[in-house]
Structure 1
Amino acid sequence: MTERTEKPYDDIPGTFVFDADRSREGYHLNMFCISLRLADNRATFGADEGAYLDRYPMTPAQRQAVLDRDWMELLRLGGNIYYTSKLAANDGITFQELAAKMTGVPNEEYRDMMLQGGRPIEGNRYKSEWEKT
């Protein structure tokens, strides 16, 4: 696998843009996640997660992120949020709860923040802004 080249949008804090590089990197991870849309696959995965994951030639880091349910790491390693949300749904986690987990705030706080228009943009545009403060 080739190393991902740096992109101008890599400076957006807390964001992993799902671009062509991440799509290629996360192909098998995303195919695993989307497989969970079928009840038979969810049952098989639930019975033995490791054995089910053996069907997909993911990297060791991707496999561990699935087992750990490390949601942000899944995105960093090429997971598409709409695909990885299938894994969350399998665990009984709603999309709103998943977003709250990814932002590191309690679900109710996340909900209230979104109802008030989301995170303030100041200080959240670029990581380089953090270095100046």
Structure 2
Amino acid sequence: MSLDKPYADIPGTTVFDADMARVGYHLNQFCMSLMKADNRERFKADERAYLDEWSMTEAQKQAVLDRDYNRMIDLGGNIYFLAKIFSTDGLSFQHAAATMTGMSQEEYAQMMLSGGRSPEGNRYLNETSGGD
């Protein structure tokens, strides 16, 4: 049974906690397999066949095939494990983060150089609705 999670109402934020670690275990293990060159080559040769070797949910597999990093996080993926996928694709962390925000890499880089994202709209929901 999950404990009370006071961080559950932060818009757009998925906290990787013990529950998410359990949900994403096989997805994250797949990601870690990409640390080996032979596995990266097998994955790139036939992504679906390689994914089918893992006990991931169909939703997790589809998110990988779609390179939908936000969905992978929702399904238990940890960004540090997911980095193995975009590294396998030859992409930078900055590029992946930009796609997750709906920005181009250049727009994302400029936002970060300008101090990052505004906290407006990114607070606890109870902070913006007058609290409990």
For normalisation by structure 2, the TM-score amounts to: 0.89
Please give the alpha-carbon distance, in whole angstroms, between the structure 2 residues aligned to 1:128 and 1:52. Answer: 43
Partner of 1:63: 61
Please give the alpha-carbon distance, in whole angstroms, between the structure 1 residues aligned to 2:13 and 2:46. Answer: 32
Matched, 1:17 2:35: no
Partner of 1:118: 116
- Which stretches of structure 1, 4 residues or longer, exceed 3 Å deviation after superposition? 127-132
How far off is 1:68 after superposition?
Answer: 1.0
Please give the alpha-carbon distance, in whole angstroms, between the structure 2 residues aligned to 1:46 and 1:53. Answer: 11
Matched-pair identity in %: 59
Aligned residue for 2:121, secondary structure, equals: coil
Please give the alpha-carbon distance, in whole angstroms, between the structure 1 residues aligned to 2:108 and 2:34. Answer: 26
How far off is 1:131 after superposition?
Answer: 6.9
Stretch deviating more after TM superposition (76-85 or 118-127): 118-127
Matched, 1:38 2:48: no
Please give the alpha-carbon distance, in whole angstroms, between the structure 2 residues aligned to 1:130 and 1:85. Answer: 33
Partner of 2:96: 98
Which runs of 5 or more residues in structure 2 are unaligned?
none
Please give the alpha-carbon distance, in whole angstroms, between the structure 2 residues aligned to 1:105 and 1:126. Answer: 23
Which runs of 5 or more residues in structure 1 are unaligned?
none
Matched, 1:29 2:27: yes
* Residue pair 2:51, 2:61 contacting (<8 A) in 1 also: yes
* Residue pair 1:33, 1:84 contacting (<8 A) in 2 also: yes
User: CA RMSD for the aligned pairs?
Assistant: 1.9
How far off is 1:86 after superposition?
Answer: 0.7
After superposition, what is the alpha-carbon deviation per residue over 1:19-62, rounded to whole angstroms, capped at 9, x for unaligned? Answer: 00000110000000111111100100111111111221001111
Stretch deviating more after TM superposition (4-13 or 118-127): 4-13
* Residue pair 1:123, 1:129 contacting (<8 A) in 2 also: no
Partner of 2:107: 109
